[in-house]
Structure 1
């Protein structure tokens, strides 16, 4: 854990793969293309990649949201959400949301940096992925209103080529997409979360390979 923590802390200060890595996991429409337009500027939000050790391996939590009518209902995501006026910055947003959604309290000194911002056009958000290193596996307490299930991605499994797959999805009841995804614990991790993890994977490859 010390090795990857030291590597990431230094690597996150250097130029990041950002847009190139995001595009690897960008879903593409099948048939007619569409463009979403919004009257208001994007809202700011943050998510947390909270790395922790468990039995000699390194994991981070993901969560499946309950099914609902919103754009991200039922999808897999990292803990996180919208920046509130009371949040000092987006690090505080990610820390607060992680505690509210999965019951994990993260301190400022456990945060080691962030990945590239991602413009999530589907929900009109600009999301900053924050990375933290925890000394031990935390206790998880899910908020049943926002989280249906918590599961865990193993870092070295994430970078294995067979984890990366592709499927067809129908969203908003009529839009068909060809979607690259990460198969993690038999869950389809696609969309914005997959794009964020794609950048994380490109950085992890530098460490493990």
Structure 2
């Protein structure tokens, strides 16, 4: 997943502040070394959160230091990997007779011989970014992304 967390009113003035603070806390990139270039659409989750994803640039030489309490591993994946459709898969899941997509990327890391599955909201945000910025259509599903109303209905359905 990407760095992120909850808005802290005693520390953050805006959600952009939250994104910068969480990035600094989780992977050690000082706020002053991040250039925010935009923001994607809010993304409601089934766990009743709304994610506001910010896009930022850092130097490719920026040292990343993980907070061991919050981050298991830092994985650098080249953007070309995500653009190659062979690395992408998707499934649909049904809730209350509606279909919703779940996206997956399986990344083989040659440095350590491990395969990592990037999926769920993280994969969806990456795919959405590629579609907006690179004009690349990755997903083929006719299923749609859930809206906030879908999430509310789903929670009523699951009670």
TM exceeding 0.5 = yes
Partner of 1:143: 67
**Paired residue for 1:188, among 94, 117, 124?**
117
Partner of 2:41: 116
Matches within 5 A, 1:10-159: 77-85=1-9, 86-107=11-32, 110-121=35-46, 123-159=47-83
User: What value does the CA root-mean-square deviation take over the aligned residues?
Assistant: 2.5
Taking a change above 3 Å as real, the CA distance of residues 161 and 93 of structure 1, as seen in their structure-2 partners, is same
Offset of 1:107 from its aligned partner? 2.9
Partner of 2:134: 205
Taking a change above 3 Å as real, the CA distance of residues 150 and 109 of structure 1, as seen in their structure-2 partners, is closer
CA deviation profile, 1:79-111 (whole Å, cap 9, x unmatched): 111111121111110110011111111338711
> Is there any run of 5+ residues in structure 1 with no aligned partner, and where?
1-76, 169-177
TM-score normalised to structure 2 length: 0.68
Offset of 1:140 from its aligned partner? 1.1
Offset of 1:179 from its aligned partner? 4.1
> Is there any run of 5+ residues in structure 2 with no aligned partner, and where?
93-100, 109-114, 137-159
Q: Which of the pair is proportionally richer in strand?
A: 1
How far apart are the structure 2 equivalents of 1:161 and 1:81?
Answer: 30
Secondary structure of 1:182's aligned partner? strand
Decide whether the 8 Å contact of 1:159 with 1:204 is kept in 2. Answer: no
Decide whether the 8 Å contact of 2:34 with 2:58 is kept in 1. Answer: no
How far apart are the structure 2 equivalents of 1:98 and 1:109?
Answer: 9
| Number of aligned residues | 123
CA deviation profile, 1:97-133 (whole Å, cap 9, x unmatched): 0111111113387111111110012x21101110111
Secondary structure of 1:181's aligned partner? strand
Secondary structure of 1:147's aligned partner? coil
